[in-house]
Chains A and B, each alone.
Chain A
Amino acid sequence: MKLVSKDIDKNSAGGVTMIPEEAEDMWHAYNLITHGDSLRSTTIRKVQTETATGSTSSSKVRTTLTITVESTDFDTQACVLRVKGRNIQENQYVKLGAYHTLDLELNRKFTLGKPEWDSVALDRLDQACDVTQHADLAAVVMQEGLAHVCLVTSSMTLVRAKIDVSIPRKRKGSCSQHDKGITRFYDQVIQAVLRHINFDIVKGVLIASPGFVKDQFYEYMFQQAIKLDNRTLIDNKSKFVLIHSSSGFKHALKEVLQDPSVSARLADTKALGEARALDDFYSMLQNDPNRAFYGLKHVELAAEAQAVEVLLVSDDLFRAQEVSTRRRYVQLVDGVRESCGDVKVFSSLHVTGEQLGQLSGVAAILRFPIPEPESDGDDSDSTDEN
């Protein structure tokens, strides 16, 4: 994301103009834009004109509109962000108050105005405009008959293809159906890899599976590549890394990212940091349950006592429709920062973020043990609603 101008006053109200440059920026924009903001961008609008005789004609015009945001919608597969709202600046085509849905486009600037840019939003903005944080990675997590081809960027994990076929088992006296099924399955995975992975962008391709599936697949893929003279695969052979995972399901990606050989290659990306933080949380829960809290109420209690060392929070929570809910989370984050705590905002698109989201979205590792609050029942009920 390119930051064009930033105009935020001392009451932290103001507008920021940005140009999204890649798909991931849309995800950042999705996290920035909330209900009640104003958004200005160029768009295409179908305009109907009525002539004097009463006949109508409609035409599409490109115009710049400013809307107050009412809802946002993010398509993870296509990385398209659609923002719906009412027009607040009349022009010759669009009346005041008319509804319009802005499709944010790559490489077209937009201006986002917020009544209040809170710390979380500003962080997000910094993060979005930081070019050093990029490490695109592709991963194929597979087991016999099931494969997920994923793209892992610093804040997104996108499942590009899921291949699920049933492979006949080995039977007494005949393995040909089994072998044929396996070959067909591998062919499908190779197709998915070629279609969905852009080798110019990704730094590495991880192939992960339990057992020998990965080795078998790797061998087969390059056999095929040589047979079919597929330059893309042959040239990028060095980018492939084989890693062990316990299954071919998507959540096994977490284990894959934590594998030491991957972390060396990945340096320090966000996905990796998240996986590590979540692991720390779980091991703390095991060793000293009074130093690992989760659920908003519990964590707030700990934050009040300035006990939070690391706060794990899912970005899902900041996308809350209600301003007051968002503010509650922002206050929690600010409070922890003030007491010199570390705040990790998890991307809800990562597998780790998904898991944290299931775990009420907020968790904290504490500096010192705090006895578990008694009012247990109410709390877990309220966190269930989130």
Chain B
Amino acid sequence: MSRHRAVRTMNYDDEYDFDDVYGHSVEDDYCVSPGTDQIPEEDETMGDKPEGKGSYDEDYDPLKDSSNFQRPPLNPIDEARLNSCLEEMRNIVGETTPEHLMIDAVLRSDFNYEKALNDVLNSQSGKTTEPKSDIACRPKIFMIGGDEPNEGSVVTAPQEPQVTRMTFSTGNQTNSGFTPEKNSGMDVETESSNPACRDLGDSFASLDVKKSASQAKLDAGDSGSSNNTPKKAPFLLKTKLERLDVKKEYAKRQADGKDFINLVVIGHVDAGKSTLMGHVLYQLGFVNKRTMHKYEQESKKLGKASFAYAWVLDETEEERSRGVTMDVAQTRFQTNTKVVTLLDAPGHKDFIPNMITGAAQADCAILVVNATRGEFETGFDAGGQTREHAMLIRSLGVSQLMVAVNKMDTVDWSQLRYKEITTKLAAFLKQTGFKESDVSYVPCSGLSGENLCHAPKDTQLSKWYTGPTLAEGIDRFRSPDRMIDRAFRMCVGDIFKGMGSGFSVAGTIQAGSVQVGDRLVIMPQGDICNVKGIAIDEAPLSIAFAGDNAVLTITGSDMNNIGVGSILCDPMLPIKVTSRFRARVVIFNIDVPITKGFPVVLHYQSLNEPAHIHRLISQLNKSNGEILKKKPRCLTKNMNAVIELSLSRTVCLELHKDCKELGRIMLRYAGHTIAAGLVTEILDKPSSKTE
């Protein structure tokens, strides 16, 4: 099985190089070109000889160049002609000729492939006879390749050789198969600004382990698949070639005018979250009248006419018949200035794990409270979800909040009631850590649709309220800065069988960007996979950025190898994996004190895993973080502390100081959130005991 998998997940260009260096038996099968014939035999010992290393590097030139080379802009017909020419040429010259040379030749010869082929072959023979000079000019090629087409990007050429050297020094000969992968992955990295590069260093240590593992897999499959390499390689090279410039694309998208935000809707059960948002979607025209009419009819039949709007978001049989949202519903809509990914979280306390999953992806939130007398109070008092949800999203890093005071029609749009609720909430939210300027309040009614997208018509409201509507409120949210220049991270929230080959994973991209054809590693499983397609809201795209809620179609791995909570990352800089770590936590309002040995459920992004508190390291001063007491016996409510957690399975974690979004955790116990924290230290298993 593992051998089988290794064949499927193989990087074909690795294979290719490997064959050049070691595979003498299969070489005759396809190496017609003079280029490969020239590869000196002593390549096998290249680890020791600098000369050998040179020729080894030279091997990669085609790949490296092509990965940075952008095709000249062509109209679709020419593009097709170019492709067919390239295909023909490849059949003859194999993969030894850099793609950009081929393209140049084709363009020069005006899509006459025979002429182009002659050109190429002539230049080839000239080139391969003097490999030394080629090495010398390699960095230059890189620079040109990187700079010319993408003006905006900062290709730091000096860094590139330095980084490559690092990768060499970490491994020995056996690494060679893996190195090209590194180089291609490095494109993104070298483009990134300095902080990301600084991260490079420390992640290499963890990389090494993983690398050797995947190396072993690749090795295992070597002999079996090398034969079909030449057939597959053109496909891969082509996809490499189409790599887009991340910054440029991002700028292009931003130029479209609408900001992207991920919005989570939270609040106590039956506050009217789904109905409110369903009605907003309807008013904005994202639900057509016919569907709405159908929902109205059907809900009436069930005797739940008031749930019609909620049905827009609650789609499963179970949710509709019970009238309760159970899982986060995801949908997308546009307002005047924003493209919003809406996450409708369940309010019931049993589904808080689902709500955490949704909130972990969000940038801003709408807190829905029920204005009805008595209802607001139950939701707000101890045991209600209004408090818990607000605290959760704050700890999950959501800082912008809009409070929708819902069901105002039940209290006759009383300004007094509105004032009462907002003052109560304001005091609480301030205490929870929301800035006053980041919190806004909107009175509305989800059922009647008052003050959602249009200014209020009801005179009872309009006579005292002149503020924004709910939709205007959404427009006022600020889109946060996305970490598009960091290493790619995407937390898997859902896995399903999509159309065609492979399977699909859905989730929010926390950092970096991904393009079709990229290779990613699934952590903590350590499996390598290929991205075959990217879709956002069912529209196929070629690139997706941090902050996007994307669906990736994956090939090269098995559906069973990936679970909810796995993290897809850049194979160059995989996320850290551990089963023991330290975190600085804030204890919430709890009845039972926390001691060591306490079993908890760890919530991290979309993951929930059982864990237990291995030890209590220290209790901290709330305001300045000073250590009050080392090794406290127990932790009671509202304390700040450093604790060590251990899990039975390994999970992916990122330090909070490296990545804020991915460094937050939640601890729950017996249906209550007991603590929220930041990952401060990731411990290796053996070292923690001795210390």
Whether the pair B597, A286 counts as a contact (CB closer than 8 A) is no
Whether the pair A377, B631 counts as a contact (CB closer than 8 A) is yes
Min Cβ gap A46→B in Å is: 36
Whether the pair A166, B316 counts as a contact (CB closer than 8 A) is no
Whether the pair A285, B634 counts as a contact (CB closer than 8 A) is yes
Contacts A216-B318, A247-B610, A294-B633 known; 8 new A-B pairs at CB < 8 A: A143-B353, A168-B495, A168-B496, A179-B317, A251-B599, A285-B592, A376-B631, A376-B633
Q: Which residue of A lies closest to B597 (CB)?
A: A358
Min Cβ gap A216→B in Å is: 7
C-alpha gap A145/B449 in the complex (Å): 37
29 A-B residue pairs with CB within 8 Å: A166-B563, A168-B497, A171-B330, A171-B494, A172-B315, A175-B315, A177-B497, A179-B316, A212-B326, A244-B350, A246-B670, A247-B353, A247-B671, A249-B599, A250-B610, A255-B671, A279-B592, A282-B592, A282-B593, A283-B592, A285-B593, A289-B633, A355-B598, A355-B599, A356-B597, A357-B597, A359-B597, A359-B598, A360-B596
Chain B residues lying within 8 Å of A178, measured Cβ to Cβ, are 316
Chain A residues lying within 8 Å of B588, measured Cβ to Cβ, are none
Q: Which residue of B lies closest to A385 (CB)?
A: B689
Task: Point out the residue from A247, A251, A380 that lies within 8 Å of B631, measured CB to CB.
Answer: A380
Q: Which residue of A lies closest to B599 (CB)?
A: A251
Whether the pair B350, A175 counts as a contact (CB closer than 8 A) is no
Q: A residues within 8 Å of B by Cβ?
A: 143, 145, 166, 168-173, 175, 177-179, 210-212, 216, 244, 246-247, 249-252, 255, 279, 282-283, 285-286, 289, 294, 351, 354-360, 372, 376-377, 380, 384
Chain B 310-338, CB within 8 Å of chain A: the 1/0 string?
00000111110010001111110000000
C-alpha gap A246/B348 in the complex (Å): 12
B660 part of interface (Cβ distance < 8 Å): no
Chain B residues lying within 8 Å of A143, measured Cβ to Cβ, are 353
C-alpha gap A108/B347 in the complex (Å): 57
Q: Which residue of B lies closest to A286 (CB)?
A: B593
Chain B 348-389, CB within 8 Å of chain A: the 1/0 string?
101101000000000000000000000000000000000000
Min Cβ gap B465→A in Å is: 33
C-alpha gap A377/B617 in the complex (Å): 11
Min Cβ gap B600→A in Å is: 9
Min Cβ gap A173→B in Å is: 8
Chain A residues lying within 8 Å of B631, measured Cβ to Cβ, are 376-377, 380
Chain B residues lying within 8 Å of A212, measured Cβ to Cβ, are 318, 322, 326
Whether the pair A169, B634 counts as a contact (CB closer than 8 A) is no
Min Cβ gap A176→B in Å is: 10
B612 part of interface (Cβ distance < 8 Å): yes
CB-CB contacts below 8 Å: B559-594 with A: 562-564, 591-593
Whether the pair B351, A247 counts as a contact (CB closer than 8 A) is no
Chain B 134-156, CB within 8 Å of chain A: the 1/0 string?
00000000000000000000000
Min Cβ gap A77→B in Å is: 17
Q: Which residue of A lies closest to B646 (CB)?
A: A358
Chain B residues lying within 8 Å of A372, measured Cβ to Cβ, are 633
Whether the pair B636, A358 counts as a contact (CB closer than 8 A) is no
Please name the 3 residue pairs, one residue from A and one from B, whose CB atoms are nearest each other, closest first.
Answer: A358-B597, A246-B671, A168-B496
Min Cβ gap A365→B in Å is: 14
Q: Which residue of B lies closest to A244 (CB)?
A: B350
B506 part of interface (Cβ distance < 8 Å): yes
B678 part of interface (Cβ distance < 8 Å): no
CB-CB contacts below 8 Å: B608-666 with A: 608, 610, 612-615, 630-631, 633-634, 636
B109 part of interface (Cβ distance < 8 Å): no
Chain A residues lying within 8 Å of B331, measured Cβ to Cβ, are 172
| Interface residue range, chain B | 35 or more
Chain B residues lying within 8 Å of A354, measured Cβ to Cβ, are 599
C-alpha gap A354/B597 in the complex (Å): 8
Chain A residues lying within 8 Å of B612, measured Cβ to Cβ, are 355, 358
Question: Which has the most chain A C-beta neighbours within 10 Å: B329, B497, B564, B595?
Answer: B595
B103 part of interface (Cβ distance < 8 Å): no
Q: Which residue of B lies closest to A177 (CB)?
A: B496
Question: Which has the most chain A C-beta neighbours within 10 Å: B315, B329, B633, B668?
Answer: B633
Is chain B's interface secondary structure helix, strand, loop, or mixed overall? mixed
Task: Point out the residue from B329, B350, B564 that lies within 8 Å of A246, measured CB to CB.
Answer: B350
Q: Which residue of A lies closest to B592 (CB)?
A: A282
Q: Which residue of A lies closest to B564 (CB)?
A: A166
C-alpha gap A32/B598 in the complex (Å): 28
C-alpha gap A249/B353 in the complex (Å): 13
Min Cβ gap A247→B in Å is: 6
B487 part of interface (Cβ distance < 8 Å): no
Chain B residues lying within 8 Å of A380, measured Cβ to Cβ, are 615, 631
Whether the pair A286, B670 counts as a contact (CB closer than 8 A) is no
B493 part of interface (Cβ distance < 8 Å): yes
Q: Assess A286 versus B315: contact at CB under 8 Å? Given A166-B564, A177-B497, A359-B596.
A: no
Q: Which residue of A lies closest to B671 (CB)?
A: A246
B474 part of interface (Cβ distance < 8 Å): no
Chain A residues lying within 8 Å of B599, measured Cβ to Cβ, are 249, 251, 351, 354-355, 358
Task: Point out the residue from A169, A211, A249, A294 that lies within 8 Å of B494, measured CB to CB.
Answer: A169
Chain B residues lying within 8 Å of A351, measured Cβ to Cβ, are 599
Whether the pair A170, B350 counts as a contact (CB closer than 8 A) is no
Min Cβ gap A10→B in Å is: 40
Min Cβ gap A143→B in Å is: 8
Whether the pair A170, B597 counts as a contact (CB closer than 8 A) is no
Min Cβ gap B385→A in Å is: 14
Min Cβ gap A184→B in Å is: 12
B63 part of interface (Cβ distance < 8 Å): no
C-alpha gap A210/B672 in the complex (Å): 12
B601 part of interface (Cβ distance < 8 Å): yes
C-alpha gap A202/B436 in the complex (Å): 58
Whether the pair A170, B592 counts as a contact (CB closer than 8 A) is no
Q: Which residue of B lies closest to A294 (CB)?
A: B595
Min Cβ gap B212→A in Å is: 28
Chain B residues lying within 8 Å of A246, measured Cβ to Cβ, are 350, 668-672
Chain A residues lying within 8 Å of B326, measured Cβ to Cβ, are 211-212
Whether the pair B610, A249 counts as a contact (CB closer than 8 A) is yes
C-alpha gap A247/B601 in the complex (Å): 8
C-alpha gap A215/B589 in the complex (Å): 31
Task: Point out the residue from A172, A356, A376 that lies within 8 Å of B330, measured CB to CB.
Answer: A172
Min Cβ gap B373→A in Å is: 28
Q: Assess A211 versus B351: contact at CB under 8 Å? Given A168-B495, A169-B494, A358-B596.
A: yes
Chain A residues lying within 8 Å of B315, measured Cβ to Cβ, are 170, 172-173, 175
Q: Which residue of B lies closest to A293 (CB)?
A: B633
Chain B residues lying within 8 Å of A171, measured Cβ to Cβ, are 330, 494, 496, 506
Min Cβ gap B132→A in Å is: 54
C-alpha gap A289/B608 in the complex (Å): 31
C-alpha gap A380/B608 in the complex (Å): 29
Chain B residues lying within 8 Å of A282, measured Cβ to Cβ, are 592-593, 595
Chain A residues lying within 8 Å of B608, measured Cβ to Cβ, are 247
Q: Which residue of A lies closest to B495 (CB)?
A: A166
Chain B residues lying within 8 Å of A168, measured Cβ to Cβ, are 494-497
C-alpha gap A351/B599 in the complex (Å): 10
Whether the pair B327, A170 counts as a contact (CB closer than 8 A) is yes
C-alpha gap A163/B653 in the complex (Å): 25
C-alpha gap A193/B343 in the complex (Å): 36
Chain A residues lying within 8 Å of B348, measured Cβ to Cβ, are 211
Q: Which residue of A lies closest to B565 (CB)?
A: A166
Chain B 481-522, CB within 8 Å of chain A: the 1/0 string?
000000000000111110000000010000000000000000
Q: Which residue of A lies closest to B631 (CB)?
A: A380
C-alpha gap A166/B565 in the complex (Å): 10
Min Cβ gap A220→B in Å is: 11
Task: Point out the residue from B317, B329, B634 that lies within 8 Å of A289, measured CB to CB.
Answer: B634
CB-CB contacts below 8 Å: B197-247 with A: none
Whether the pair A255, B670 counts as a contact (CB closer than 8 A) is yes
Whether the pair A170, B496 counts as a contact (CB closer than 8 A) is no
C-alpha gap A210/B354 in the complex (Å): 12
Chain A residues lying within 8 Å of B613, measured Cβ to Cβ, are 358
C-alpha gap A283/B495 in the complex (Å): 42
Task: Point out the residue from B319, B350, B351, B592 that lies within 8 Å of A286, measured CB to CB.
Answer: B592
